[in-house]
A and B are shown apart, each in its own frame.
Chain A
């Protein structure tokens, strides 16, 4: 589904990501782990064309660089770790923006099938600022709100939401966007345990539909061990190991990267609970 070939990102003299290659297939949940500054978030940024890079990012065999912004958004969605709300948009306005990539007369040409194009052509041309949400858009928003449990708060201002609710709102936005590949940048970084569990369960459920895949950056190694179908361990912008969690998250790989006895420490931490 996604193939990253020889990806290199440089900021001046600094090499953030160094000749990185990996693939993600349908149904997979790839977790990228590694210490701070390993280039994990930058890798995600390169996939969404948020930063300049050399190398290739192929989605379904097609170069992401050549895709238009809206087309890209219909295949790849992103959930970031923090959101700083400034204005009092309502929850449903934020979620409705997830449908941006499907709006407007500009997009007739890149509808997927001929019949869809015909349907679109009948309703158009209407300038984008007059065209409202289509029924299709409204259903997608409705579904996303229901799925994330934000439906009862749809009219609420995002300034009044808790951190977890805000994160669920943006999760609903990315669900409404209907991507095939979901990128998560430490999505539960400052959420409490309840919300962490909720968000991960939601994503697991989302992934059950065929034709979808998830890439997430996480810090919590035990989470990676529990949820990931594939783990990519990075250090200094380079790939250390990539494969099933059981093969990657082993002391031979982890200890040199984190420069400590990772597994021993984890056991010690968990031991506290058992005792």
Chain B
């Protein structure tokens, strides 16, 4: 019996263990580099193409100059700040004779050296029509689109694992509509925090995303403990209808404040800014790292919640963490781009077919996949009916509804 082997047997096994590695359940660095490269290539493509097509090389050079310009300015600002504080420090220490003079000299040399390097590297601010199209219209938009896609796909992937249901997603569960309701309420009733322009909308969106998630799951658990696919979908649909009627009531009363109701229902990232991109990046970094840290727990949930408890997962804590994180991601995305449906459904589904259900691979791959998918959807929305622009949600819903039907039929045949 293998368990009763002696020390030599153990050594043997140790050697064997070194040879017989378990299948690598995460991507290697090279794979990550490839993913990033593909995502970047799609990003460049999406920036090039549009109502005015700009050659790829021009696009790249404009972006590069812009990056250099801003990095240079940032670098200069840092150097001035450092040298300012350095001079202060030197001034304070000036009374002490001896070794200080050398530090003063070396600091001065470092500053002049640094500015010299920067100056040679600094580019002029890119100007002209092309540059302004790229830098102030398309690039921020495409960046926001990419990060929204990544965030929604990540949230969808995590939810599908947590609920062990391949149809779970912000849009099918009604979480996105809930978040949109929050945002609309914030605008209609003027909820805002002093000093932070869009924090009110965002906080309300996140809050409502979380509340609707809790509400939907509580209702679903009451109805059917095993959270069968049909139950969840039914409750999601009913909840979405309920929310959209509430939204229409609010819009009727506050029509002057909310002009574009379609913005919240169909979603659009038209006119997204760098500020939005920064917020999305922050949300993605924080929530994304939380979700990636819980990949193994999500695997356990994807096999079964009872099983997760039996192998030692702190089920309640992990569930709460995941739900809060997912609400955060969806809330931020909705407050910036409205509710863009089905991204979180389609991307993890396709990615799962390619890399398997292990969340250590699924989540990072969904991140890149979601970015690419939504960028392409946005490109289609911008160019298909040029010069008319479709809301991006229309495109994703068109694709998503078809994929939804496919998954639904497949899972029904299963059981």
Interface residues of chain A, those whose CB is within 8 Å of chain B, are: 48-50, 68-74, 77-78, 80, 83-90, 92-94, 96-98, 100-101, 103, 127-130, 132-133, 135, 138-139, 141-143, 146-147, 155, 170, 173-174, 177, 205, 208-209
Contact = CB atoms under 8 A, between A and B. Distances in A.
A183 B3 CA distance: 20
Contacts of A90: 23, 356
8 contacts: A83-B307, A96-B25, A100-B311, A100-B312, A129-B26, A129-B360, A174-B310, A209-B3
Given A69-B313, A128-B293, A135-B17, A208 B22 contact: no
A69, A70, A96: most-surrounded residue (chain B CB, <10 A): A69
Contact of A97 (B164, B303, B356): B303
Contact of B303 (A50, A89, A132): A89
Contacts of A177: 311-312
B258 to A, nearest CB: 40
Contact of A88 (B21, B299, B306, B357): B357
B393 to A, nearest CB: 28
B1 A73 contact: no
Interface string B350-391: 001000111010000000000000000000000000000000
A80 B299 CA distance: 18
Contacts of A101: 311-312
Interface string B152-163: 000000000000
B311 to A, nearest CB: 5
A97 B296 contact: yes
A77 B300 CA distance: 15
Contacts of B24: 132
Contact of A135 (B18, B294, B314, B411): B18
Interface residues of B, number: 46
A138 B303 contact: no
B345 to A, nearest CB: 15
Interface of B: 1-4, 13-14, 16-18, 20-26, 164-166, 292-297, 299-300, 302-304, 306-307, 309-315, 352, 356-358, 360, 411, 415
A88 B307 CA distance: 16
Contacts of B293: 127-129
Contact of A133 (B13, B22, B166, B307): B22
Interface centre among B13, B24, B352 (most CB of A within 10 A): B13
B336 to A, nearest CB: 27
B358 A100 contact: no
The SS class assigned to the B binding surface is helix
A11 to B, nearest CB: 12
Contacts of B295: 129
A69 B358 contact: no
Contacts of A73: 310-312
Contacts of A88: 356-357
B367 to A, nearest CB: 13
Nearest to A159: B414
A173 B3 CA distance: 15
Contact of A132 (B25, B164, B297, B358): B25
B17 A89 contact: no
B17 A83 contact: no
Contacts of B294: 129
B14 A135 contact: yes
Contacts of B306: 50, 78, 80
A183 to B, nearest CB: 9
Contacts of A143: 2-3
Contacts of A93: 23, 25, 299, 358
Given A80-B307, A132-B24, 5 more contacts: A68-B314, A69-B309, A83-B307, A87-B303, A209-B1
A146 B13 CA distance: 13
B3 A155 contact: no
A101 B314 CA distance: 10
A139 B352 contact: no
Contact of B165 (A86, A89, A146): A86
Contact of B23 (A77, A85, A92): A92
Nearest to A143: B2
B274 to A, nearest CB: 30
A71 B312 CA distance: 7
A142 B13 contact: yes
Contact of B311 (A49, A85, A173): A173
Contacts of B165: 86
B18 A89 contact: no
B23 A97 contact: no
A83 B309 CA distance: 14
B315 A100 contact: no
A129 B309 CA distance: 19
Residue of B18, B297, B309 contacting most chain A CB atoms (<10 Å): B309
Given A92-B22, A135-B18, A208-B1, A48 B358 contact: no
B21 A205 contact: no
Contact of A89 (B1, B22, B302): B302
A208 B4 CA distance: 10
Nearest to A78: B310
Given A73-B310, A74-B312, A139 B14 contact: yes
A142 B3 contact: no
A89 B357 contact: yes
